[in-house]
């Protein structure tokens, strides 16, 4: 498997509890390299655009409100099979269903405030990376 990039967000519930370092340690421990990272306050337009695929879902408005409620850390992660590796270390969307030792099992508060986002495919990773980063901000 070749080197791959994926996109990650440390969400407001995690930055509020000062868990950026703890989560980064879990990402690095899983063999992922943080090759770009910035702490931002997402605008409503950014959150609506980023989660546009969920527009018709009942939780969409709450999700946008939550994602703009505090700082987030957007990241590019690099490694072999990075998309799958990141999804494994994140754990299931709902922390109740997440495996022991995963980020969401360890840190998430509930299905919405679930501490991290990670791309679900290499194709979406590229789209999501381009949504927040210019190529010259990514240093592998």
Q: Which of the residues are catalytic?
A: 117
Within 10 angstroms of residue 133's Cβ, the number of other Cβ atoms is 19
Residue 114 touches ligand CMP, criterion: CB under 6 A: yes
CB of 136 to ligand CMP, least distance (A): 26
The single residue among 117, 125, 129, 132 that binds ligand CMP, judged by CB under 6 A, is 117
Give the H/E segment covering residue 54: none
* Contact flag: residue 34 with ligand CMP (CB under 6 A): no
DSSP code of 121? S
On the 0-12 / 13-18 / 19+ scale of CB atoms within 10 A, 36 is: buried
In angstroms, the CA 9 to CA 97 distance is 20
Q: Is 27 helix (H, G, I), strand (E, B) or coil?
A: helix
Q: Is 124 in the site for ligand CMP (CB under 6 A)?
A: no
Which residues on adjacent β-strands are paired with residue 4?
79
Q: Judged by CB under 6 A, does residue 59 bind ligand CMP? A: yes
Stretch that binds ligand CMP, among 32-40, 95-103, 106-114, 130-138 (CB under 6 A): 106-114
Is residue 119 part of the contact set for ligand CMP (CB under 6 A)? no
Positions in the binding site for ligand CMP (CB under 6 A): 54, 59, 63, 93, 111-112, 114, 117
């Amino acid at each position: 498997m070749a080197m791959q990039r994926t996109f990650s967000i440390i969400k407001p519930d995690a930055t509020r509890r000062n868990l950026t370092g703890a989560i980064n340690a879990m990402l690095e421990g899983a063999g992922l390299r943080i090759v770009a990272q910035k702490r931002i306050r997402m605008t409503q337009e950014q959150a609506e655009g980023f989660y546009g695929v969920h527009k018709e879902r009942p939780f969409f408005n709450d999700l946008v409100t939550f994602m703009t409620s505090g700082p987030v850390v957007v990241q590019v992660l690099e490694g072999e099979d990075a998309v799958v590796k990141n999804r494994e270390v994140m754990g299931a969307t709902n922390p109740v269903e997440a495996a022991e030792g995963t980020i969401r099992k360890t840190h998430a508060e509930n299905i919405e405030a679930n501490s991290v986002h990670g791309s679900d495919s290499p194709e979406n990773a590229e789209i999501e990376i381009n949504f927040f980063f210019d190529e010259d901000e990514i240093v592998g």
